[in-house]
Amino acid sequence: MANQWFRLYAEFAHDPKVQMLSEVDQRRYIMLLCFRCNGDVTLHETAIAFQLRISDEEWAETRARLIQRKLITKDNKPTAWDKRQYVSDSSAERVRRHREKLRNADVTLQKRPCNAVDTDTDTDTDTEKTKTTRAPRFDARAHLSSLGVPDQIAIDWIAHRRAKRATPTRTAIDGIARQAEAAGLYLGDALGMCCERGWTGFKADWLAGQQPPGRRQTVTETRTETVATLTGRIRHANQLEERDVSPGLLRLAK
């Protein structure tokens, strides 16, 4: 329970009715005000004497002086209490009114008619329908493992793809698998070849002498092709042509 309090006005210090009392009677009058504020002490003669820790005779004398100065009534209640102590000072009354207001508001809301169609069930159903479950993230390494690709080749190929800023998707893996099958290769071998040659993808026809798109011949490949051409080791118009090449021409090709 919160501490109770009451108003004590500054005129207490210069009110003749109070100041003509002894300090003892003034203290006992203040204690009587406290009893009235708390409301937990019955204002009977014996009860008041007990709370003041004085005898019944001492309280009778003090009581007579307080009544004479019209500070208390004959039933030991402070005079003008309701005039000087406001009902609004008590939080209990404010809380009671607030709770009553809330109860009235709840009743009003429950009784208020509504012309709108009840769509709660439909809304709940629509909400449930709109909830989608995010698809699990594709695990390229696990997919390659399920296709029989060794872990190290799978790790190297995934790193190689990402270095080329190409995502190792299921579509890319399945496409390379089809091309590897067309070339008569095992998928792991095709992926290893991609890593060795720097290929982002894989085409079966690249193994038939065609270069992957965007790839240029190295200097060694150019020299080898030139020597083969000069020595007649490549076919021209489907015929094998043998040539005699001087040592000087070979040095030039190199």
pTM: 0.35
Judged on CB neighbours under 10 Å (0-12, 13-18, 19+), 149 is buried
Mean pLDDT in runs of 10 for the chain (254 residues)? 77 88 92 82 82 92 92 87 73 74 72 57 54 79 90 92 90 91 88 90 79 59 69 53 53 52
* Vertex 78: Cα angle to 75 and 80 (nearest 5): 120
Report pLDDT for 36: 83
Q: What letter represents residue 215's amino acid?
A: R
The sign one gets for the Cα dihedral 75, 77, 83, 89 is negative
Report pLDDT for 64: 93
Report pLDDT for 238: 47
Q: Among candidates 26, 33, 24, which has minimal Cα distance to 54?
A: 24
Do residues 194 and 200 touch, judged by C-beta distance below 8 A? yes
